[in-house]
Amino acid sequence: MKVSACTFIRNGQILGYPFIQSIQSILPIVDEFVIAVGQGDDDTLTILQSLNEPKLRLIETTWNETMRAKGYVYGQQKMIAQFACTGDWIFYLEADEVVHENDLPAIKASMQQHWQDEAVEALIFDYLHFYGNANTYLWSPGWYRRAPRIIKASVRSYAPDGLFWLVLDSNKHGRYPRAAHTGATMYHYGWVRSEAQMNLKASKVEKYWNKRNDTVDYAEMDARILREFTGSHPAIVQDWLPTATGIFPTNPDYRPSKKQQRHWWMLKVERWFGLELSKKHYRLIR
């Protein structure tokens, strides 16, 4: 069994991505790591080259600046990296996602267990979406709680955007992959970066999503969905995380949007009826 990993990155340095920590977090369990590196405005490519890591394979790309279809360029870059993979499994990791070293044995065991099981096409992770600081995460149906990050190379799949896969049973119809659970957690740190970095990111990528992003203000958040994190962060990312104590403080006068209010009521329904209503880009079979 051969395991490939892949990702895409552009301006990772100036946008504050923990992309090096992300890559290094799964290197012990992959045989190669293919990265589509977009031509950007910083030293991301040079930093990756300086690692001198034999498992890395860098593909230099140019992003389509005229493409306005929602998320298409992200999906394109993801697939450039994925199509260059040579493994039996493909582990896609976004540049702000990190795997805990304690979960590596379970992930490897899950890949081994389901490698030749034709019913299983992908493997999913539980998600921790950190917000504002390293002590706070979001718990709401509006933030996906599980997502596939590993898929079989033998599956005919493509990515409409950077987040998820569709599997093609025919040329005209796509569906979410049939998935088993790895028993592992994905640590998502995208919303721990500084507000300045988040706003710079918005200014650089909003055109690829055909929308106008509002200014990021971490204090403007529904405090009812914030939870305190009491576990341990992956060792590889601890030096990157900003120092903080307690749950991130939000604006007490903030009034949740209609969308956030809807998610709050969905959260109540989950509690009342034991449901799980977050978006699922997979079909769980195991």
Contacts of 150 (CB under 8 A, 6+ apart): 89, 90, 91, 92, 107, 111, 122, 123, 182
- What tokens does 129 get? 């979406």
Residue count of the chain: 286
CB atoms within 10 A of CB 201: 19
Average the pLDDT over 110-123 and give the result: 97
Dihedral (Cα; 91, 95, 98, 104), 10-degree rounding: 20
pLDDT exceeding 90 applies to what percent of the chain?
86
What's the pLDDT band for 1 if we cut at 50, 70, 90? Answer: very high
The neighbouring-strand residues paired with 192 are none
pLDDT exceeding 70 applies to what percent of the chain?
98
Q: Residue 70 pLDDT more than 80?
A: no
Q: What is the CATH number of the domain that holds 191?
A: 3.90.550
d(CA 258, CA 119): 40
pLDDT for the residue 103? 98
d(CA 115, CA 113): 6
pLDDT for the residue 214? 74
What's the pLDDT band for 259 if we cut at 50, 70, 90? Answer: very high
d(CA 122, CA 156): 12
Average the pLDDT over 131-137 and give the result: 97
Q: What is the mean pLDDT of the chain?
A: 94
Phi-psi region of 98 (alpha: psi -120 to 50; beta: other; left: phi over 0): beta
Q: Which residue has the tokens 């055909």?
A: 210
- DSSP-derived secondary structure letter, 176: P
Average the pLDDT over 67-89 and give the result: 91
Q: Which of 132, 133, 129, 123 is nearest to 142 (CA)?
A: 129
Quote the number of domains for the chain. Answer: 1
pLDDT in tens, 177-225: 999 999 999 999 999 999 999 998 888 887 787 666 678 899 999 999 9
pLDDT for the residue 243? 87
pLDDT for the residue 171? 86
Given strand 157-158, what is the order of strands in its sheet?
A: 157-158, 166-168, 174-175
Q: Residue 69 pLDDT more than 90?
A: no
d(CA 177, CA 146): 13
pLDDT in tens, 36-64: 999 999 999 999 999 999 999 999 999 98
d(CA 262, CA 268): 10
d(CA 20, CA 236): 9
Domain that holds residue 151: 1-286
User: Cα 28–166–201 angle (5° rounding)?
Assistant: 65
Q: Are the C-beta atoms of residues 112 and 105 closer than 8 Å to each other?
A: no
pTM of the complete model: 0.96
pLDDT for the residue 210? 67
Average the pLDDT over 134-154 and give the result: 97
- What tokens does 104 get? 């590596």
Beta strands 3-9 and 146-152 are unpaired
Listing DSSP states for 130-186 in one string gives EESEEEEEE-STTS-SEEEEEEETTS-EE-SSSS--EEESSSS-EEPPEEEEEEEEE
What is the SS3 assignment for 212?
Answer: coil
- What tokens does 183 get? 């028993």
pLDDT in tens, 214-255: 788 999 999 999 999 999 999 999 999 998 889 999 999 999
Beta strands 178-191 and 97-99 are antiparallel
